[in-house]
Amino acid sequence: MQKILDLISEEVQKAFEAAGYDAQLGRVTISNRPDLCEYQCNGAMAGAKKYHKAPLMIAQEVAEKLDASDVLAEVSAAAPGFLNMKVKEEFVRDYLRKMRESEKFGLKMPGQAKKIIIDYGGPNVAKPLHVGHLRSAIIGESIKRICRYAGHDIIGDIHLGDWGLQMGLIITELQKRQPDLIYFDASYEGEYPEEAPFTISELEEIYPTASAKSKEDETYKADAMEATYKLQSGVRGYRALWNHIIDVSVTDLKKNYENLNVAFDLWKGESDVHDIIPGMVEAMKKGGYAYESDGALVVDVKEETDTKEVPPCMILKSDGASLYNTTDLATIMDRMEQHHPDKLIYLTDKRQELYFEQVFRCARKTGLVDADTELVHIGFGTMNGKDGKPFKTREGGVMRLENLIHEINEEMIRKIRENAETKGYEVDEKEAEETAKVVGLAAIKYGDLSNQASKDYIFDMDRFTSFEGDTGPYILYTIVRIKSILGKYAEQGGTLTNTVIENAVNDSEKSLMLEVAKFNAMIEGACEEIAPHRICAYIYDLANAFNHFYHETKILTEEDVQKKSGWIALLILTRDILETCIDLLGFSAPERM
Ligand code: ARG
């Protein structure tokens, strides 16, 4: 379907033309004076110079041509030359009727779908997920869903950190604790046990212990580097242990991401490109891009127009070891070979901005990607505590994701009970817990996504979990309210399936209808700008418009059957759009709350 603003613009453009002016002047925008009109056009002012005419006169002539319009109801010229407009009730009604019948509410699919890979996990094996991983997961998942809904071909990849020194550290610590493990017996040639010699909780304790020791003890660190080297060069026992570490850790990660409603299509890791690194490095040398500098192998990536210093991209360290850059570059090569994406999107903390600039330039310069492959880094800001500093536990440590979710859920249960008490109904314990999980996730995700990704934001438990204001729970509360009205309508004997949207009967209904009508334009914008916050802003406006209408309209006691069923139809469409939007943000609504 065409966007509603385009349809209105077309109408006004025709009128400009009919009055003898350039049609282009007829571009319409949403009114910035909603007290006066719904839409406005400033074209008469823009045309005044060209036509040597007072803008008000042009506006008046155009307004006259719109007298008989099927789209516009009230068109008036206002000084110094605005065209103020309202649309006809029938026009909005028909637009919404068509939305209801159309796939994806009339969202146009792109002529040519793009293949896009989104890299938005980045957890490190054997290290617990912490709040730093939260933003990447939340924002990335939403971007994946939005672009997929908008008709593109999307692959989400977790890109596990599974190959670096942390693996050597764990293996070293295991060896110190259990030197007799069969994995450390170099002469052993048999099969290794299927069961891992540790649990996830042990693993999560082993890593920080080993990491602390390596910082104090040089020989320990040397051992860990040696173990990393042995692992990477394929020593059997080390590989077998590594497989256990991955299995145990990935099982746990899957559970954690599932709780967040986050699902990756690919579970690849840094280790997956290990074997293709030598070939890539060779090609970079052969092509004359990579050269030795202080023993290390680097590629220059600075450009003449740079205003800041962009250091060379290091490909290999002086000891020949690969780095974070190396795996990212090899992964780009792998992704191009396996999937030929049009676009690669990376989500990380914005402190990695320069890093990705180097990697992208290097990939382009060395021909790892095509000239038209888009490489995009979305650097997000920090999630801060109320003190404005990066979010920490009460004791000042890094907040584990599980604990954060637990805290939110506890607060949500409290609020759900409180709400039930004031409303005078019973909630059973089990239901309150289930609902708290659903609403808690909405609180966290909406709190994050409603900010522009690049900005820092304050994680404010009280505000995020509130049922009022620009919050996830408010949106859910609105959906639940609609569902409850629909439920009651059905109980009264009404049928939901054969309802038809009618003309708006009052301003609040029309405002709601015009808000609903913005859906396709909003989704297109959110996808093009890679901006989930646009969906949040939209559903906040939509929920407000609905609640305004709800407070002014006695829906269920209405006697006029047609009018009532028209409202029900509008409610169904509003609910469906709200639910679609929250699904694109990565959360869902409960039945009651
Ligand atoms: N594992 C990394 C970390 O914890 C993040 C990886 C981000 N993605 C990437 N392709 N470099 O810092």
Q: Evaluate: CB of 164 within 6 angstroms of ligand 1.
A: no
309-366 pLDDT, tens digit per residue, is 999 999 999 988 889 999 999 999 999 999 999 999 999 999 999 999 999 999 999 9
Cβ of 122 less than 6 Å from ligand 1: yes
Give residue 352 CA to ligand 1 midpoint distance, Å: 9
Our answer on whether the CB atom of 166 is closer than 6 Å to any ligand 1 atom is no
248 C-alpha to center of ligand 1: Å? 20
Rounded Cα distance, 572 and 1, in Å: 20
445: CA distance to ligand 1 center in Å?
21
Q: Can you give the pLDDT at residue 132? A: 76
Amino acid at 16: F
Residue closest by Cα to atom 2 of ligand 1: 122
Query: From CA 497, how far away is CA 568, in angstroms rounded?
Result: 10
- Rounded distance from Cα 524 to ligand 1 centre (Å): 29
CB 8 within 8 A of CB 25: no
Instruction: State the distance from the centre of ligand 1 to the C-alpha of 348, rounded, in angstroms.
Output: 7
Structure tokens at 214: 């390596």
Residue nearest to atom 7 of ligand 1 (CA): 122
pLDDT in the model for residue 427: 85
State how beta strands 313-316 and 115-119 pair: unpaired
Q: What per-residue confidence (pLDDT) applies to 578?
A: 98
Angle formed at CA 207 by CA 229 and CA 214, multiple of 5 degrees: 60
| Residue 212: per-residue pLDDT | 95
Q: What is the pLDDT of residue 214?
A: 96
**Residue 353 confidence (pLDDT):** 96
CB of 328 within 6 A of ligand 1: the answer is: yes
CA of 177 to the centre of ligand 1 (A): 30
C-alpha 345 – ligand 1 centre gap (Å): 13
Chain center to CA of 67:
44
pTM to 2 decimals? 0.95
Please give the structure tokens belonging to residue 142: 């939403």
DSSP string, 291-332: EEETTEEEE----TT-SS--PPEEEE-TTS-B-HHHHHHHHH
Whole-number pLDDT of residue 506: 93
Write the pLDDT tens digit of every residue in 260-287. 999 999 999 999 999 999 999 999 999 9
Closest CA to ligand 1's atom 6: 122
| pLDDT at 237 (0 to 100) | 96
- Distance CA(556)–CA(381), nearest Å, equals 46
| Residue with CA nearest ligand 1 atom 1 | 122
Closest CA to 100 of 498, 535, 584, 507: 498
Q: Which atom of ligand 1 is nearest to the CA of 161?
A: 1
Ligand 1 atom 10: the closest Cα is on which residue? Answer: 328
How long, in residues, is the chain? Answer: 593
pLDDT value of position 397: 76
Ligand 1 mutation target, pool 348, 352, 359, most atoms within 8 A of CB: 348
Considering only CA atoms, which residue is closest to atom 11 of ligand 1?
328
445 lines ligand 1 (CB under 6 A): no
Residues of the chain falling short of pLDDT 70? none
